[in-house]
Amino acid sequence: MNKAELIAHIADAVDCPKTQANAALDAFIEAVTKSLKKGDKVTLVGFGTFSVSKRAARTGRNPQTGESIKIKAKKVARFKAGKELSGKL
């Protein structure tokens, strides 16, 4: 499912125009992004938790040349499915 299909599904489910569904989805994504950027967690009971974790620096290998390269440490977004969502899969 892509974003356009998700917007269409939301619009049909709540009987609103696609423009409103798009605005609601964009607002949700923006709120989650801002919260994660601050280092907070976003927990949606029954769905899951979005969080940020740190990935340590490590040594990788260039597959074309076999040369060792250093990969910088960075922060990554994580999602852990909640109990209800996991049970439905």
Do 34 and 45 share a domain, yes or no? no
What's the whole-number mean pLDDT along residues 55-74? 93
Percent of the chain with pLDDT over 70: 100
Q: What gap in Å lies between CA 38 and CA 44, rounded to an integer?
A: 18
Task: Spell out the residues 6+ positions from residue 75 whose beta carbon is closer than 8 angstroms to its own.
Answer: 52, 53, 54, 55
**Whether residues 33 and 48 fall in one domain:** no
How much of the chain, in percent, has pLDDT values that exceed 90?
94
Q: Do 19 and 2 fall within a single domain?
A: yes
Q: Name the packing angle between helices 3-14 and 18-38 (round to 10°).
A: 120
List the structure tokens of 27.
């607002």
The torsion region of residue 67 among left (phi > 0), alpha (psi -120 to 50) and beta comes to beta
What pLDDT, on a 0 to 100 scale, did the predictor assign at position 9? Answer: 95
pLDDT tier, 57 (very low <50, low <70, confident <90, very high otherwise): very high
Same domain, 15 and 51: no
